[in-house]
Structure 1
Amino acid sequence: MIKKEIAATVALGCFALSTNAFADFLSDSKATLGMRNYYFNNDNRDGVAAPSKTEEWAQGFMLDYKSGYTDGTIGFGIDALGLMGVTLDSGKGRHVGSTMIPSESDNRAVDQWSRLGLTGKVKISKTELRYGTLIPKLPILVANDGRVLPQTFEGGQITSGEFKDLTLIGGRIEHATGRGSTDQTGLAAMGGTRESDHFDFGGGDWKVTKDLTAQYYYANLDNYYNQQFFGLLHTLTIADDQSLKTDLRYFKTDSSGKNSSGTSGYRISGYTKNGDGEIDNRTWSATLIYTLGGHAITAGYQSVSDGSSFTQLNQGSLAGKGAGGTSLYLYTDRLIQSFNRAGERTSFGQYAYDFAAMGLPGLKASVMYLSGDNIKTTSGDNQKEWERDISLDYILQSGTFKGVGLGWRNGKSNSEASRDQDQNRVTVSYSIPLM
C-alpha cells in the first residue's frame, strides 16, 4: 500500500519531466528499512496514584525512502516515511501511563498501529524547500525519538547554504503526531489544552572559524510564546586524541497572544510567578566536554529563572490524542527528568568511554549524575531532585548479525517535585538498505 501511494505521488509530480530527468530522480534514490525492538519499564516507587508501574514491549518498523532530484536548475523530489508498531507484550494495568503504544477505547494497548508521511522537496542551487512530514532537530524544536517510533511534525522548512560557512533555516509547523499515536494534533505548550494554529521559526548556524560556531534561532508558537536562542560551540584541539569542547546556550522565552492575556486553555501548567499560567523564562547553561582517547568527561551547570518553567512545544495536555512525549534542547533533558522547573539550578557530570580505544569497537558506556535545587512549585519553594543514568551500547561488528545494535538504559530519579522513579529500557535495532 505504501509503495502504491509513493508511486502515485511521484507520477503526479513528475509526469511532465523528461526521461533523463526522471532517471536522475530514481538513480539517486535511497531506501532503508529500520527495525527497533523496544522494552520499556518505568516503576514509580512512591505515591498511591496510578500508574504504579508502566511496562511494555513492542516492535517498530520504519521504511524510509528518499528520492534523488530531477535534473535541471530546479530539482524536484519526494520522500516517504512508513511507520508501523506491533505490540508484543502489554496489559491494561501495565499500559496505564504509556507514551509508547496507542490505547483502545477501553484503555488497553492496541495490537498494532501505523502511519505514513510524505514530503515533497524542491532544490535550487544550495537551497532546499521541504513540505510535508518533518523530523526537526533544531535548538527551538527537537522531534522526540525516545520510544519505538519517532514523533513527527507536518509543515514546511527551507534550508539554505548559499553563503559560505552560514546555514540558514526557517519554516512553519502546523501539526504534530506523538511518538505513541496515529492521531495528528495541533500544537501546544506544556499544560496548554487549546491548540495553537502554527509554529514559526527561523535562524542559522555560522561557522566563524573551523573551531567556533555561533547560533541564533527565533520561534513563535501562536498564542503561547516567543523564544530566542543564542548558542556558542567551540572545540579546542589539544593533541591528536585530546580536546576540550565548550557549549554555551541561552534561551529567552516570553508569553505571546492569549497566553499573555491569561485566556483559559492557553495557560501553562506548574508554577508561574503570579499564578496566572503566563510564560516568562530565561534559561542558560555552560558545558565543558574533555576527551582523551576513549575517555570523555562532561561537566556543566544550568540555571532556569523563576518566572515559569522552561518550555518548548509539548502536546501532552491535548485530550485524547496520545500526543505525550517531548524533547528539549537541554543537556539536562534525560531519561526521566528534564530539570527545567521554575527556579531550578542544576549541576551535572558524565563519564563516557568508547571501548574502541581498547580494541573493542562498537562498545560504548556512560554514567551521568544530575542534581537540581531551588525548584519552585505550586506546593513549595527550594525543592530538590537528582537523577542517575547509565547507558550501555554495542553494535555487532562481524558475522551474520553484523550491524545489529544492542542498547540498555537505566535511570533512577528522586525528586521532591514529582514521584520517585526507576526506569529501564532495552533496545535491539537493525537497518537494512533496500536500494
Structure 2
Amino acid sequence: MKKTSLALAVAAGTFGVSLMAQAEFIKDSTASIEARNFYFNRDFRQADTPTPSQAKSEEWAQGFLLRLESGYTEGTVGFGVDALGTFGFKLDSGDGTANSGLLVPDRESGGSQDNYGDLGLAAKAKISETVLKVGSLQLKNMAIGSSDGRLLPQVFSGGQLVSKDIAGLTLDAGYLDEVNHRNSGDYEGLTMTSGGRRGIAFEDGNQSSNFVFAGGTYKFSDSLTGGYYYSNLEDLYKQNSFNLVHVLPLGDKQSLKTDVRYARSTDDGRSNVDNKAFGAMVTYALSGHSFGLGYQSMSGDTGAAYVNGTDPFLVNYVQISDFANKDEKSWQARYDFNFASIGIPGLTFMTRYLTGDNVDLGTNVSDGKEWERDMDLAYVVQSGPLKNLGLKWRNATVRSNFTNDIDENRLILSYTLPLL
C-alpha cells in the first residue's frame, strides 16, 4: 500500500510537538471503530448482459473503519493529527459474480481479492478558525465529494485549507494528486468519469496529474445560503459551480426548501468537455414527512464532468444513475418519512422515482430514455447495549433503452463503537 511520505513525516513531527502540550491534544480527541457488514446484489435484466458470462454481480464482505481525530496542541498555532484505518475482507464471492465495488478486483482470476485495507494519516494545523490538513483526506463540497457507498470509503491524498474566521462565511481550497478508491488498497492517478452517453473524448488518455479547487459558502441570513467553487482537473476540465439554498418556514413543523445548482464545465486542453448542468430541488416538509420535486437539465456538446468515482453535486445523482448524459432532461419525485414523529426514533424511510429523456445517442433512431426507482429503509438503535447498531436496506430498479437494466439490493449492517 502506498503512503504519502510527506503526510507521514509531518504527522510524526506533529505527534512530537503534541507531547509538549498533551492536555488539549488528548482532551479534545475522538476515536471510534465502525464494523460494516455489506451484502450487494445487482441483477442485470436485459438480454445482452455487460459480459456474456455475468448475469449478476453478487458479493458479501466485512469491513472495519478506525477513525481518530486528535485535538490541537496549545499555542497560537495548534497542531494535531487525524487517522483513518480501513480493512475489508471477502465473505462470499465467486462463480462469475464479482465487480460489485465491494472488493478489489483480481485481474488474474476475474474474481475478487480476499482482503484489502489502508492506513491514512493527515497532519493538521489550526490558527483561530482556519485549519490546514495535509495527507489522507475525505472531502464533501460542491467541487468534489468522496464516495462512501460501498464497504470502505474513497480517500484522496493532498492538502485542504478551510477557514471559518468570518461569521457566516466558510472558505475552502485544496490540492489533490492521488486517490484510493473505495474498492482499492492502493493510491493511483486521477481520472474523469466518462461512462454512459456523455460524449466525452480524450487526447492522450484519461489521466490527470492533479485536481485543485477553491470556493466557499456564505450564510446571507438564517434562511438563505449561497455557494461558489472553481475547480480544475489538470488538462481535462475546468468548472465553475454555483448553489443557492433557501428555507422558508411555513408554520409549526412546516417548511419549504429550495435548492438550486448550476455548473459550467469546459475542456482544459486534452478533452472535449462542454457542459452546462442545471438542477433544482423543492422540498416541502410537514412534521415527519418530506415531499420533494426535482428537475435537472444537461446542455452543451457533452454530459457532466466530474472526478471518476466521486459523488457529483447533482440533484439527480442517486443510487445507480446520475442522469447526466449529453442533452438529458430528468425529473425526480421523492418522499421521506422520519418515524420519530410518531414515537419511533431511529427509523427512517425514503422512496423516489426519476425519469430522464432526450439523451443524445449519436444516431437517428431515437432519443435515449431511462428511469430509476429507489427505496431506503433504515433503523439505528438509539439506546441500550446495542446503541449505534444500524440496519439499512437499499433497493433500486433501473430501466433504459441505452444502458443496463438493473434490479439491485444492498443490505448494510453497521455498528459504531466510540473509543474516546
Aligned to 2:341: 357
- Among 235, 239, 243, the alignment partner of 1:231 is 243
Match of 1:12 in 2: 13
Shift, 1:16, TM fit? 5.0
Give 3-state SS (helix, strand or coil) of 1:414's partner: strand
Partner of 2:209: 197
Would the alpha carbon gap of residues 299 and 7 (structure 1) be closer, same or farther in structure 2, given more than 3 Å must change? Answer: closer
One-letter amino acid of the structure 2 residue matched with residue 195 of structure 1? Q
Mapped partners of 2:170, 2:391: distance in 1: 34
Count of residue correspondences: 401
Aligned twin of 1:28: 28
AA partner of residue 336 (structure 2): A
- What residue is the counterpart of 2:417 in the other structure? 432
- 1:10 and 1:23, CA in 2 relative to 1: closer, same or farther beyond 3 A? farther
AA matched with 1:206: Y
Bigger shift: 202-211 or 98-107?
Answer: 98-107
Q: Contact (CA 8 Å) 2:49, 2:404: kept in 1 or not?
A: no
CA deviation after TM superposition for structure 1 residue 366, in Å: 1.3
Cα distance in 1, alignment partners of residues 8 and 270 from structure 2: 43
Q: 1:29 to 1:293 in 2, by over 3 A?
A: same
Aligned twin of 2:267: 255
1:30-109, aligned counterparts within 5 Å? Answer: 30-46=30-46, 47-50=48-51, 51-95=54-98, 97-104=99-106, 105-109=108-112
SS at match of 1:172: strand
1:152 aligns with 2:133: no
- Cα deviation, 1:398-431, whole Å, max 9, x if unaligned, reads 3432221110011001011201100000001111
Q: Give distance in 1, aligned partners of 2:18 and 2:125.
A: 14
| Matching of residues 155-170 of structure 1 within 5 Å | 155-170=158-173
**Alignment RMSD:** 1.8
Residue 290 in structure 1 maps to residue 284 in structure 2: yes
- Distance of 2:395 and 2:131 partners within structure 1: 40
Letter of the 1:162 partner, please give it: D
| TM-superposition CA deviations, 1:246-270 (whole Å, max 9, x none) | 00000000001222xxxxxxxxxxx
Q: Structure 1 residue 240: deviation in Å?
A: 2.8
8 Å CA contact 2:219–2:226 kept in 1: the answer is yes
* Preserved contact between residue 240 and residue 263 of structure 2 (Cα < 8 Å): yes
Counterpart position of 1:207: 219
Gaps of 5+ in 1: 260-277, 315-324
Q: Residue 351 of structure 1 contacts residue 366 of structure 1 at CA under 8 Å; is this kept in 2?
A: yes
How far apart are residue 8 of structure 1 and its match? 9.3
| Residues 146 and 18 of structure 1: CA distance in aligned 2, closer, same or farther (over 3 Å) | closer
Give 3-state SS (helix, strand or coil) of 2:148's partner. Answer: coil
Is the aligned partner of 1:176 residue 2:179? yes
Which amino acid counterpart does residue 43 of structure 1 have in structure 2?
D
Contact 2:388–2:417, Cα closer than 8 Å, also in 1:
no
Q: Which amino acid counterpart does residue 294 of structure 1 have in structure 2? A: G
Aligned-pair distance for 1:190? 2.0
Provide the secondary structure at the position in 2 that maps to 1:26.
helix
Shift in Å at residue 10 of structure 1?
A: 5.5
Q: Deviations over 1:28-75 (max 9, x none)?
A: 211100111100000110114423200001111000011110000000
The one-letter amino acid paired with 1:394 is: Y
- Structure 1 Cα separation of the partners of residues 50 and 399 of structure 2: 17
| 2:89 partner letter | V
Q: How does 1:308-347 map to 2 (within 5 A)?
A: 308-314=302-308, 325-347=309-331
**CA spacing shift, 1:194–1:340, aligned 2, 3 Å:** closer
